[in-house]
Chain A
Amino acid sequence: MKVLIVDDEPLVRLSLKRALEKSGHQVAEAADGQIGMEVWRNFSPDLTFLDVLMPRITGPDLLKALRSAGAVTGKVILMSAFTGDYNLERAKSVGADLFITKPFEDIFAVVKQGEELVRGKGK
């Protein structure tokens, strides 16, 4: 499946991309919200890992803009390294399907969560 990673931390993108590719997924990356918006429209991902705090456009703002444009495709997992400002409830209220905190305990567990979400199990 097609997975989009929107995060301003290169190492997070890299590690997540490598783990996803190992599972045979097609991965696209964006280094901030602005790029993320364009890539999303062109790539139409089945699953998007979206960071909250990014320069220019934040994850939730990007999501809201795409939702109002009807351009959201697939499932969305919101990620934050700053625990406390977001939780699952608030993530869902801005249109995400799942919320996970960074740092990840196990990157493969995160990939699995994404796969299950798309298959309709992880809700």
Chain B
Amino acid sequence: MEPNKTKIIQLFTRKPEPKWWEELKAADTVGCQWDVRSFFSPNAGVILIPRNELTEIRKEELSQSKAYILVESSWTLQNLKRALALVRGALFLDAAQGGEEAFKVVQVALARQAERERNSQMMQMMRVQNRQIQELNVSLEEVVRERTTFDTESRRASQKNISRVREIIVFIKEMAQVLDISDLLPLIRRQLKEYHSLEAPLLFIPRGEGFGDLYYMRQSQTIRTRVRAQWEVSARIRLNDAQDSLFLANAMGRPVAKVLRFPLITVRHQKDPSRSPLLLFEHNLSQDQLDPLMASLTETLQPVSWALDRLVLEQELKSSSRDWESTFDELPEPIAILDHDGRVLRANSQWREDFKDVMSNDSKEFRVGSQLYAVEKYPIHMSPESPPISWVVYLRDETRSQKLKSQAVQVEKMSAIGQLAGHIAHELNNPLTGIRSLSQVLLTEMTAGSQIHNDLTEVEKASARCQNIINNLLDFSRGGMESKVQVLDLNEITKKTLPFLKSATGKFRSDIQLSEGQLPVRVEPHLMQQVIFNLVNNACQAMNEKGEISVHTHKDARWAVLEIKDTGPGIEPDLKERIFEPFFTTKAEGEGTGLGLSLSRDFVRQFGGDLEVESERGEGSTFRVRLPLDEP
């Protein structure tokens, strides 16, 4: 506050100063500045208005002054009201009281003015402060508004984040449910639809050195092709490599521009990233667009890696279990995994329903019908201490191996007999030659018709018969040694075999009718002789004391047919097939091996023919050998 202003006492008058003005000035004890003006000075602290001036004052003039107003007393009430309406503060000055008393009133006015001034200044200050507060408020509001905007935005961002995470979770779920690799691509394509610069994805899965499977989409179909390519596969992202474009172009048979190659690092390929699957995209990305894309692609495609891990593993498991299955199915003998109760958990194709009782006893052998199996059981334990949870059961066909063994023994025996027969024939031939030749010489020295001539003739004839037998034996034995398939006349083989059967056929009537003309067949002669021998021998053994044995041959279209018929009791219908089973015999122990018919049928089938039997009870049996004719 300016000090002079508070102490400026102004007399407002347009007339001569009243006589108390001088008295008042003289009573000043505080050193005020006393002014007389005909207007309301803005600088005055107190303005004195004489009684006679009051009506002249205009409201406008007065209101411009901030001074405290003192009016001369003895105003009318009406005037006073008017004055009070005009001024914010007013006091009455009673000039008649004298200068000193009047100055006290001036001092009061000064004090009030000063207070008013202070108040006004305080008001001023408060106004400034208010304004400052208001300004502060405004800036605070700004801050709050900004803050709110920020919050909203970050909320939106986090919501976006959440929805993205949700999306990924859904994607992971979908990936986890994919059953086939070819179903991956449409899902990946959908997941990446926001990346407009990427074309539909392609998937390459390395399967071995220099080859793999390429999956790509044509319309909505996923196509798989096996691709052979010397193509560098590594675990790093590759952009716009000409090799990749060339590879895809070759694989799909169409031109390919820019390629983004994105490795899917699966758990299984962490150690060997060169075997990791690759996602490939045709694209039109620029290098600077790549980095931000990569980060989000890595995240988005992680579930694909997981799914691939699982799918490739499943695929490999499936194919390896298929390999095992076909391996087991190829094995000629029955193998199965059984539980304790003999339930079949898994079995190869040789396993039959009738093997189910194999677990019911601890026997090392198991018989089904005429088949005999050696049983081998291997327990499967979950842990070394626990009891077995299941068993691998392996049935070795003993019938088959015994049959093979017998067959080998038989062949061996025949070969030994052949060699032996050769030696015997040679040893017999020499003296026999002498006997016959000497008989012939001596006969020339005898008188024809004499007793000695006749006897010697018998000796010569007998030695001739012996020679024949020995020649046949030699033929037979030589066949056994050579074991060679050749084209021979079935009639000839039959003729050569029958003499050996004389001891068997001797007591029966025999009816031999061989076809006219030759029956050329491709056989091993000694095996075919063995067949005829077996069949005729069997036929004879089937008959008791009397009966007839017939050996007939004929031609039937492209077949040579040999029928050996007996008049024995015949074969029971249910035994008709079983008689061809190895070791099946109706003969007494030690009399038959049960192999004769089985081997005979094997041999005939080996020559491309067949051996069958016709039999009626009480009507005898006919065994019929059919062999393909070897004719041009």
Q: Please report A residues at the B interface, Cβ cutoff 8 Å.
A: 7-16, 18-19, 22, 53, 81-84, 102-104, 106-108, 110
Contact = CB atoms under 8 A, between A and B. Distances in A.
A102 B435 CA distance: 12
B440 A12 contact: no
Among B430, B442, B467, B474, max chain A CB count under 10 A is at B430
A84 B441 contact: no
B37 to A, nearest CB: 176
10 contacts: A8-B430, A9-B433, A12-B433, A14-B434, A15-B434, A18-B441, A22-B441, A81-B429, A82-B429, A107-B440
Given A11-B438, A15-B438, A81 B433 contact: yes
A103 B478 contact: no
Interface residues of B, number: 23
Given A22-B444, A103-B432, A103-B467, A16 B437 contact: yes
B426 interface: yes
A9 B441 contact: no
Nearest to A102: B433
A18 B434 CA distance: 11
Given A15-B433, A104-B437, A108-B440, 11 more contacts: A9-B430, A10-B434, A12-B437, A15-B434, A84-B478, A102-B433, A103-B432, A103-B433, A103-B437, A107-B436, A110-B437
A84 B474 contact: yes
B440 to A, nearest CB: 5
Interface string B488-522: 00000000000000000000000000000000000
Contacts of B434: 9-15
B422 A18 contact: no
B441 A104 contact: no
Nearest to B431: A11
A3 to B, nearest CB: 15
A100 to B, nearest CB: 10
A104 B431 CA distance: 11
A103 B463 CA distance: 10
A84 B437 CA distance: 22
Contacts of B474: 83-84
B436 A103 contact: yes
B467 to A, nearest CB: 5
Contact of A81 (B426, B436, B441, B442): B426
Contacts of A84: 474, 478
Interface in B462-491: 463, 467, 470-471, 474, 478
B429 A11 contact: no
B430 A81 contact: yes
A15 B441 contact: yes
A12 B430 contact: yes
Among A9, A13, A15, A108, max chain B CB count under 10 A is at A15
Contacts of B463: 103
Interface of B: 422, 425-426, 429-438, 440-442, 444, 463, 467, 470-471, 474, 478
Contact of A104 (B426, B436, B444, B471): B436
Contacts of B442: 18
A102 B426 CA distance: 9
Contact of A15 (B426, B437, B467, B470): B437
A8 B431 CA distance: 10
A15 B429 contact: no
Nearest to A79: B433
Among A10, A107, A108, max chain B CB count under 10 A is at A107
A7 B434 CA distance: 11
Contacts of B440: 15, 19, 106-108
Contacts of A108: 440, 444
B521 to A, nearest CB: 23
A110 B471 CA distance: 19
A111 to B, nearest CB: 10
A8 B426 CA distance: 13
A80 B434 CA distance: 13
A107 B426 CA distance: 18
A78 to B, nearest CB: 14
A103 B441 contact: no
Top 6 A-B pairs, shortest CB-CB distance: A11-B434, A15-B437, A81-B429, A107-B437, A15-B438, A103-B433
Contacts of B444: 22, 108
A104 B430 CA distance: 10
Contacts of B426: 53, 81-82
B388 to A, nearest CB: 62
A77 to B, nearest CB: 14
A121 to B, nearest CB: 23
B238 to A, nearest CB: 79
Contacts of B441: 15, 18-19, 22, 107
A7 B430 CA distance: 9
Given A81-B429, A81-B430, A11 B478 contact: no
A103 B429 contact: yes
A102 B422 CA distance: 14
Given A82-B422, A84-B474, A102 B430 contact: yes
A104 B441 CA distance: 12
A15 to B, nearest CB: 4
A83 B471 CA distance: 9
Contact of A18 (B433, B438, B470): B438
Contacts of A12: 430-431, 433-434, 437
Among A10, A104, A110, max chain B CB count under 10 A is at A104
A103 B436 CA distance: 8
B17 to A, nearest CB: 187
Contacts of B432: 103
Among B429, B433, B463, B467, max chain A CB count under 10 A is at B433
Nearest to A9: B430
A11 B427 CA distance: 13
Contacts of A19: 437, 440-441
A102 B429 contact: yes
B436 A9 contact: no
Contacts of A11: 430-431, 433-435, 437-438
Contacts of A53: 426
Contacts of B433: 9, 11-12, 15, 81, 102-104
A107 B441 CA distance: 7
